[in-house]
Amino acid sequence: MTDATTPRPKALIVLSSARRLPLAAPADHPGIPTGFFLVELAAVMARFEDDYDFILATPDGELPQLDVNGLALNFHAAAGLGPATARTTIQTGVERFGPEKMRAKNPGLLQRRESELALARRLLGRIPVSEPLPKTDPEAVSVRGDVAAGLEASPQREYLSIRQLLERHRDPASDFSLADLAFVHMPGGHAPMVDFHDNPWMGELLNTLREADVPVSLICHAPVALTSAQYRVDADGKVTTDPDHPFKGAHITTVPKYGEKVMLASGYPKVPGQSTRLPYYVDVALKDAGYDVSLTLNPSAAKVVWDAERNLLTGNGPQAVDEQAVRLAEILRDRAARDAAPQTG
């Protein structure tokens, strides 16, 4: 525990503020409501809440939106995602359980979700919740109103833009420095595909964090931020591109294309009765950008990858979040021990 008389270390949480995900198909579709997955954030914030203060940011400084689809009970099973999804699918389909019975039959998943929603009200404040889709889990739809009301009643938190973070970091009169951060975490959900991808300010943030030796944790769709690492933005706002940037070739993981195709065929993103396609797939975009992307054959199996050279910790989805939080804590302990060790030579 941090001593009450000493300043608490700070960590940065960067969330997408995208509210709608464009689709490549059906043609002329306006896109589906989207947001971030709470489960991919809450496990990290819960592990570090007692000892760290969190700075909240989005690419443009607008409020993030919680994706109601990420509240489905099966997503709260962590490494047990596969069996939990099979079980809840049978319960809602074959056994035709209603929302109340679903909650009664899955008390552990329900308890975790309630704990994470309490954390969101406490730490994320007044943020919106996405509208349900035709294939949104019925039990998640049944709690959306209460979730939205609880968040609406929460205090408003400050969300900085990435540009504001960098301007404060560069300002000699400011007491804020990205170099003082203990770590950065960015959760997924589909929303990062919109505003983390090919974003010069995100690129400048990632490169500045690397130069400051700050570990960066990205999960599920959030690793798409690394497609932005080719960019730098100077103090005058001029954007330059370096195709051979220091992140290139990093060993990472993310959500696989074949997992996305399963979701597009039968999961919540599917437009009923029509072929549904995303504008791109995250793993393909990262491979095309020069990254060493490692995937699991089973899309529900957990995978976490630490690239020590680039200070990058990546996970492949909600099934990996507990392992990722544990690994991040180990990395921070190792760094603290290293910094406390007597210097020789």
Q: Which residues of 30-41 are buried (b: 16+ CB within 10 A; e: fewer)?
A: eebbbbbbbbbb
Q: What is the pTM of this model?
A: 0.96
Asked whether 16 and 192 are in contact (CB, 8 A), the reply is yes
Span of 3-12, 126-135, 137-146, 320-329 with lowest mean pLDDT: 3-12
Q: Is residue 1 part of a domain?
A: no
pLDDT, tens only, 256-286 = 999 999 999 999 999 999 999 999 999 999 9
Number of domains in the chain: 1
Best CA proximity match to 80, nearest among 102, 106, 46: 106
Burial level of 308, CB count in 10 A (0-12/13-18/19+)?
exposed
Q: Does residue 7 or residue 344 have the better pLDDT?
A: 7
Q: Is residue 345 part of a domain?
A: no
Q: Is residue 228 part of a domain?
A: yes
The two structure tokens encoding residue 262 = 């399963």
CATH code of the domain in which 180 resides: 3.40.50.880
In percent, how much of the chain has pLDDT > 70? 98
Q: What is the pLDDT of residue 2?
A: 53
Q: Is residue 342 part of a domain?
A: no
Q: What is the pLDDT of residue 105?
A: 97
CA distances from 315 to 2, 36, 216 (A): 28, 15, 12
What confidence tier does 6 reach under pLDDT thresholds 50, 70, 90?
Answer: confident
Q: What is the pLDDT of residue 286?
A: 98
Asked if residue 197 has pLDDT above 60, the reply is yes
In the three-class reduction of DSSP (H, G, I as helix; E, B as strand; rest coil), residue 1 is classed as coil
Q: Is residue 295 part of a domain?
A: yes
Asked if residue 3 has pLDDT above 60, the reply is no
Domain that holds residue 234: 10-336
Asked if residue 64 has pLDDT above 60, the reply is yes
Asked if residue 340 has pLDDT above 90, the reply is no
What is the CB-side half-sphere exposure of residue 228 using CA atoms within 13 A? 26
Mean pLDDT of the residues in the chain? 96
Q: Is residue 311 part of a domain?
A: yes
Q: Is residue 330 part of a domain?
A: yes
Residues 6+ apart with CB under 8 A from 90: none
Q: Is residue 100 part of a domain?
A: yes
What confidence tier does 344 reach under pLDDT thresholds 50, 70, 90?
Answer: low
